[in-house]
Structure 1
Amino acid sequence: MKAFDKKLFKRILEYTKPYKFRYNSVIIWAILLSIFAALRPYLLKNIIDDYVFPKNNNGFVIMLTLMGITLLLEVLAQFYFVYWANWLGQDIIKDIRIKLFKHLSNFKMSYYDHEPVGKLVTRTVSDIEAIARIFSQGLFMIISDLMKMFAILIFMFYMNWKLTMIVLFSMPILIYATRVFQIKMKGAFEEVRTQISEMNTFVQERVTGMKIVQLFTREDIEYEKFKEINHKHRVAWVKNVWYNSIFFPIADIVTSLTLSFIIYYGAILVLNHDPFTEKGDLFAYTMYIAIFFTPLRQIADKFNEMQMGMIAANRVFEVLDDNSHSEDSGTKTAPDFEGNIEFKNVVFGYKKEEDVLKNINLNINKGQTVAIVGATGAGKSTIINLLNRFYEIKSGEISIDGHNINEYTLESLRKQIAVVLQDVFLFADTIHNNITLNNSDISRQEVINAAKEIGAHEFIMSLPGNYDYDVKERGIMLSSGQRQLIAFLRAYVSNPSILILDEATSSIDAYLEELIQKATDTLTKNRTSIVIAHRLATVINADKIVVLDKGIVVEEGNHNQLLQKENGFYKKLYEAQFINHEEI
């Protein structure tokens, strides 16, 4: 295992290019900080040797003032260094987070079929936050510490090379210990990030599905699972703490022993009146050793921060490098469609070895309302996913108004198609924003007028805040029927050329069924509509009914035509839903 990935580090530095001035400024502040830090002990040596022991009061005040100015400049350099380094780190992760979110927004639906939401949340939030530490706590701190050590060594050699050699003899031990420590810590950090991702995924899923957990009395079982995951997370962190517990005492022992040798050897030189050693040297050297070894000890600590950030960056880049996004190769901007839709020999499967749709041929004329019915798993919703290009077909062609849908840009294609799903997703926002999806081109009055036409205005006005009522996460403050009406409104105000209702009336109670039927009639009027439903009562009046079975079109026709077919699929479905119901 490599302790440091140069290729990954170089890629991270690419994000500093827009902030070159600030990046260079931080380096300059680091240089100044190292000079001021190394200058203080040297000034102290001169004060002791030239003014304290000789009892020279003339320049004593001047030297103290100079030392105070040096300290002030060091404080200022420290402030600007830390502030600008953190500022740079935050701007960089802002850019990466925006890029990552945009990348996630363009993934195919197949990507989300197999990637846990908790993992993606971890990548977008905590992993990216860790990247900032590369700049705020890692890279620049290491640069500053190395420069500080280099400047101190220059002063130490200038003052007394004999004492400096004692310091250098201890360096190989610390360098070797630091190297081993870095390698071990990288493995520990990778395990920590893995366990954090696992925990986030588990918690996100259980909190979202808490109703199921409680309905089926799974609290104790899920509690035990969480204890196990939490234990693994703890073990990963304990390993991290263990390596820290070993390294830093070793570093402290080496530092203390070096300081002891310096004091012992330096005292002998002073007592023997060595010309290379003055009384101030020992004072300065004790300060220099503290300043010299503290950065060396901290470099390992800062390298930990850097390692954590780089491991997080590697995980983020894995998502950014994933090419599962929808290929937007289209060059045409979709116009207002007339609504002629054609499927030619379309074959598709979610898995390579298993086809869901098998050689589908389907024609839908403009203005028609076409219902697609069939048993669960027949491929009804898959047709909708393909029309919106959420998935790419294996073979065949899907066209609208005589043009292959791949010729259109994804954005313009999807703007012309509105979908009302059975499982309505509402954001934790106002009703108005959930209807318009923050599209500033849709005014409040347009929303109100649409709500009146759909039949939703009355229930919205009964809510506290009316159109500004916050529905909370997933629209939990509304009933399923009310959420469905919001979904109809959302589709209506987008003024689509093609409307798709995917099981949009299956969860509606009897009280709201009349409103939903009115909304459906309003939405489908004068536009091509595709209705997918299990409840055949909602599709009886469709212009055409397409029956799917195991990915194959087995029947087509209107309600009356399909009922005339002996042993027909539609007739069996109809009889199962209506005749048996009447007998009961």
Structure 2
Amino acid sequence: MSAHGHHPGSADDRLGKVYDAEMFRRLWAYVRPHRTLVFVSFVIIFVLGAAQLVQPYLIRIAIDDHIGTRNSDGLGILALWFGLALLGEFLLRWLQIYVLERTGQNVVYDLRTDAFAHLQRLPSSFFDRNPVGRLMTRVTSDVEAIHEVFTSGLVMILADLVKVIGIVVILLAMDWRLALVTFAVIPPIIFVTLQFRGRMRSAYRTVRGAIARLNAFLQENVTGMRIVQMFGRENESAEAFAEINAEHREAQLKAVVYESSFTSLAELVAAVALAVLLWAGGYGILAGMVTFGTLVAFIEYSAKFFRPVQELSQRYTVMQAAMAAAERIFGLLDTEVSIKSSDGAIPVPEKLAGDIRFENVTFGYDDERPVLKDVSFHIRPGERIGVVGWTGSGKTTLIRLLVRLYDVQQGRILLDGVDIRKYRLRDLRRSIGIVLQDPFLFAGSVGGNISLGDPTIGPDRVKAAARAVQVDRFIETLPAGYDERIRERGSNLSVGEKQLLTFARAVAFDPGILVLDEATASVDPRTEQKIQLALATLLSDRTSILIAHRLATVRDADRILVLHQGELREQGTHEELLVLENGIYRTLYALQATA
């Protein structure tokens, strides 16, 4: 468990400046499939703008041509048109909200689907560097921020722009002198916007980084809550969380300061402009240069003109938060899928012989410390191989390389005489069944956890796999049998029950090669006995690799490989290794026998 969620120099803090134009270009790729909805929204913008802008003009006509002259002829028709304009505005605004929400949700769906699909293709080294909570933030709240671009960001800015242009044309046509007084607000607003633009983007980038660190810390500590409680670390965890939470609070407050300053200045400029307009308009009426209806219409139009200007701060805040989120999402999508099927990759043979050869393999999780050093060995088809060694000797790393969770840095691995990098990655991984020490089950049904949703594995095959590992009787005692719901990570099952289900999963996929990585280390003797009986069936006519700390597990292996500090030091049968003077295997065996 980490004590702090923030690490200087992390990927979040090294985000460079990415121009808005590039973000919009990439977002457009997700908008393009829904361009019909976008077109409809643009049509609505223009029609809605017309319905809104005609209202003050109708008021001007009513005052100057009817109320001011005490002429009621046509006033009722004018009122009817005004009412229709209001009704049209209401209906069009509802339709606009619906279309924008639908467009935004479609884009969010596509973007989130792509982000998750890309995550699944990334190599294990990526997940070594990035906390789960941070990645959850990318796929959830960061993507959701993009939705705001459509509901209250870019599209609404365009709608406001159409409205402002319409008002400019109408005001100039009505009285160009009063229009110039109204337009005097534009240069100060542009100046204020330019002053706050960079600061607000930076502030919201910091906020989203703080949210990601909060999520990462929460995910880690909720997952490890039993450890926290058993070791009495609640206070320390609370203090660490408070520190990260304080970072988020300070980042949010800084963003609020910029936002509120921007909003206040924009409103101040608009208020001053309106006061000047009233003074100039009143003077114009007294001088006989402006009619009262024109001034009322000007005030109405000015309110409609200033409102988008005042809301520009909110729109701009949304856009800055969305652009900061877009940087992070596209940063994830741009992460290279370094382990993938090569061009012209070939399928793994349907009848895999299971011949495995490591040739001078060197690998390290970082460049400075190799975990495996020039390792070479050959496993013949159908051979049962044990792999032993001290903790950290590289046993599990062998398997991670075999299924290409990582790629070798030097040397090569051959499967049936072909470099594994030439096989289709999906085929390669399906041909190797792995049962780990820590069984992992998904929330879902028992049967679904055995088949993992593979359409080629039907109910009969699931039941046959369960019988093969003798877990069928346990499943049949469950109230819903194979449809019984399993909670997250299998929390409603014992370790042994979970392990037997993962064995059934491996059998159901019928792999050509079977790997057991400390698979019986966490189970009770009775469960282990069931597993050992099942192994006799599982391992027949199948190449198998058994990684073990307990040497009794590999005693009957055809051959045992002994790793030490990343090197293959010894290999042979149990009896051959025991007679090696000062041998590592002999030392391990003696220690376990004494224990």
Instruction: Using the TM superposition, give the Cα deviation of residue 2 of structure 1 relative to its aligned residue in structure 2, in angstroms.
Output: 7.4
1:409 counterpart letter in structure 2? R
What does the per-residue CA deviation read over 1:369-415, in whole Å, with 9 as the maximum and x for residues that have no partner?
11111111111111101110111111212111111111111001111
Aligned to 1:333: 347
**2:69 maps to 1:71:** no
The runs of 4+ residues in structure 1 deviating greater than 3 Å are: 1-4
- SS of equivalent residue, structure 1 residue 562: helix
Q: 240, 246, 261: which one pairs with 1:246? A: 261
1:328 counterpart letter in structure 2? S
What does the per-residue CA deviation read over 1:538-575, in whole Å, with 9 as the maximum and x for residues that have no partner?
11111111111112221211112222222222122112
**2:503 maps to 1:488:** yes
- SS of equivalent residue, structure 2 residue 520: coil
**2:465 maps to 1:478:** no
2:537 counterpart letter in structure 1? T
Q: How far apart, in 1, do the equivalents of 2:25 and 2:445 lie?
A: 44
Q: How far apart, in 2, do the equivalents of 1:421 and 1:181 lie?
A: 54
TM, length-normalised to structure 1: 0.96
Aligned to 1:420: 435
What does the per-residue CA deviation read over 1:104-140, in whole Å, with 9 as the maximum and x for residues that have no partner?
1111111111111111111111101111111221110
**2:323 maps to 1:310:** yes
Q: How far apart, in 2, do the equivalents of 1:392 and 1:254 lie?
A: 61
Q: 115, 128, 150: which one pairs with 1:113? A: 128
Aligned to 2:152: 137
Stretch deviating more after TM superposition (236-245 or 131-140): 236-245
- In structure 2, relative to structure 1, the CA distance for the partners of 1:545 and 1:4 (3 Å cut) is closer
2:341 counterpart letter in structure 1? D
**2:555 maps to 1:540:** yes
Counterpart contact for 1:182–1:304, Cα < 8 Å: no
Q: How far apart, in 1, do the equivalents of 2:333 and 2:223 lie?
A: 26
**2:24 maps to 1:9:** yes
Q: 272, 277, 281: which one pairs with 2:294? A: 281
Aligned ranges 1:23-422 → 2 under 5 Å: 23-274=38-289, 277-329=290-342, 331-336=345-350, 337-422=352-437
- SS of equivalent residue, structure 1 residue 10: helix
Identity %: 40
Q: How far apart, in 1, do the equivalents of 2:539 and 2:443 lie?
A: 29
Instruction: Using the TM superposition, give the Cα deviation of residue 222 of structure 1 relative to its aligned residue in structure 2, in angstroms.
Output: 0.8
Q: How far apart, in 1, do the equivalents of 2:484 and 2:238 lie?
A: 35
Instruction: Using the TM superposition, give the Cα deviation of residue 82 of structure 1 relative to its aligned residue in structure 2, in angstroms.
Output: 2.1
1:28 counterpart letter in structure 2? V
What does the per-residue CA deviation read over 1:158-205, in whole Å, with 9 as the maximum and x for residues that have no partner?
111111111112322222122223332112111111110111111111
2:345 counterpart letter in structure 1? T
Q: How far apart, in 2, do the equivalents of 1:557 and 1:21 lie?
A: 69
Q: How far apart, in 2, do the equivalents of 1:513 and 1:280 lie?
A: 93
Counterpart contact for 2:259–2:313, Cα < 8 Å: no
- SS of equivalent residue, structure 1 residue 371: strand
Q: How far apart, in 1, do the equivalents of 2:571 and 2:102 lie?
A: 64
Counterpart contact for 1:30–1:144, Cα < 8 Å: yes
What does the per-residue CA deviation read over 1:328-363, in whole Å, with 9 as the maximum and x for residues that have no partner?
205101122111111111121111122211221111
Counterpart contact for 2:263–2:313, Cα < 8 Å: no
- SS of equivalent residue, structure 1 residue 547: strand
Counterpart contact for 1:426–1:474, Cα < 8 Å: yes
Alignment size in residue pairs: 578
- SS of equivalent residue, structure 1 residue 367: coil
Instruction: Using the TM superposition, give the Cα deviation of residue 324 of structure 1 relative to its aligned residue in structure 2, in angstroms.
Output: 4.4
- SS of equivalent residue, structure 2 residue 444: coil
- SS of equivalent residue, structure 2 residue 545: strand
Aligned to 1:514: 529
Q: How far apart, in 2, do the equivalents of 1:261 and 1:4 lie?
A: 38
Q: How far apart, in 2, do the equivalents of 1:525 and 1:511 lie?
A: 22
Aligned to 1:500: 515
Instruction: Using the TM superposition, give the Cα deviation of residue 462 of structure 1 relative to its aligned residue in structure 2, in angstroms.
Output: 2.3
Q: How far apart, in 1, do the equivalents of 2:195 and 2:94 lie?
A: 32
- SS of equivalent residue, structure 1 residue 500: strand
2:78 counterpart letter in structure 1? M
Q: How far apart, in 2, do the equivalents of 1:504 and 1:316 lie?
A: 38
1:290 counterpart letter in structure 2? A
Counterpart contact for 1:3–1:182, Cα < 8 Å: no
Instruction: Using the TM superposition, give the Cα deviation of residue 25 of structure 1 relative to its aligned residue in structure 2, in angstroms.
Output: 2.1
- Structure 2 gap ranges (5+): 1-15
TM, length-normalised to structure 2: 0.94
Stretch deviating more after TM superposition (121-130 or 241-250): 241-250
Counterpart contact for 2:394–2:563, Cα < 8 Å: yes
Q: How far apart, in 1, do the equivalents of 2:423 and 2:586 lie?
A: 39
Instruction: Using the TM superposition, give the Cα deviation of residue 4 of structure 1 relative to its aligned residue in structure 2, in angstroms.
Output: 6.0
Q: How far apart, in 2, do the equivalents of 1:448 and 1:350 lie?
A: 39
Instruction: Using the TM superposition, give the Cα deviation of residue 72 of structure 1 relative to its aligned residue in structure 2, in angstroms.
Output: 2.1
CA RMSD, 1 decimal: 1.6
Q: How far apart, in 2, do the equivalents of 1:232 and 1:301 lie?
A: 23
- SS of equivalent residue, structure 2 residue 486: coil
Aligned to 1:556: 571
- SS of equivalent residue, structure 2 residue 485: coil
Q: How far apart, in 1, do the equivalents of 2:287 and 2:360 lie?
A: 100
Instruction: Using the TM superposition, give the Cα deviation of residue 299 of structure 1 relative to its aligned residue in structure 2, in angstroms.
Output: 1.9
Instruction: Using the TM superposition, give the Cα deviation of residue 420 of structure 1 relative to its aligned residue in structure 2, in angstroms.
Output: 0.3
Instruction: Using the TM superposition, give the Cα deviation of residue 85 of structure 1 relative to its aligned residue in structure 2, in angstroms.
Output: 1.7
Counterpart contact for 1:33–1:148, Cα < 8 Å: no
Counterpart contact for 2:555–2:574, Cα < 8 Å: yes
Instruction: Using the TM superposition, give the Cα deviation of residue 467 of structure 1 relative to its aligned residue in structure 2, in angstroms.
Output: 1.6
- SS of equivalent residue, structure 1 residue 56: coil
Instruction: Using the TM superposition, give the Cα deviation of residue 479 of structure 1 relative to its aligned residue in structure 2, in angstroms.
Output: 1.0
Q: How far apart, in 2, do the equivalents of 1:58 and 1:574 lie?
A: 110
Q: How far apart, in 2, do the equivalents of 1:177 and 1:404 lie?
A: 62
Q: How far apart, in 1, do the equivalents of 2:18 and 2:252 lie?
A: 18
2:244 counterpart letter in structure 1? I
- SS of equivalent residue, structure 1 residue 229: helix
1:301 counterpart letter in structure 2? Q
What does the per-residue CA deviation read over 1:274-297, in whole Å, with 9 as the maximum and x for residues that have no partner?
2xx222112111111111100111
1:174 counterpart letter in structure 2? I
What does the per-residue CA deviation read over 1:221-279, in whole Å, with 9 as the maximum and x for residues that have no partner?
111111111111111111122223322232222222222222222122222222xx222
Stretch deviating more after TM superposition (444-453 or 34-43): 444-453
Q: How far apart, in 1, do the equivalents of 2:410 and 2:255 lie?
A: 52
- SS of equivalent residue, structure 2 residue 527: helix
- SS of equivalent residue, structure 1 residue 571: helix
- SS of equivalent residue, structure 1 residue 342: strand
- SS of equivalent residue, structure 2 residue 153: helix
Q: How far apart, in 1, do the equivalents of 2:238 and 2:561 lie?
A: 47
Instruction: Using the TM superposition, give the Cα deviation of residue 465 of structure 1 relative to its aligned residue in structure 2, in angstroms.
Output: 2.0
- SS of equivalent residue, structure 2 residue 460: helix
- In structure 2, relative to structure 1, the CA distance for the partners of 1:432 and 1:296 (3 Å cut) is same
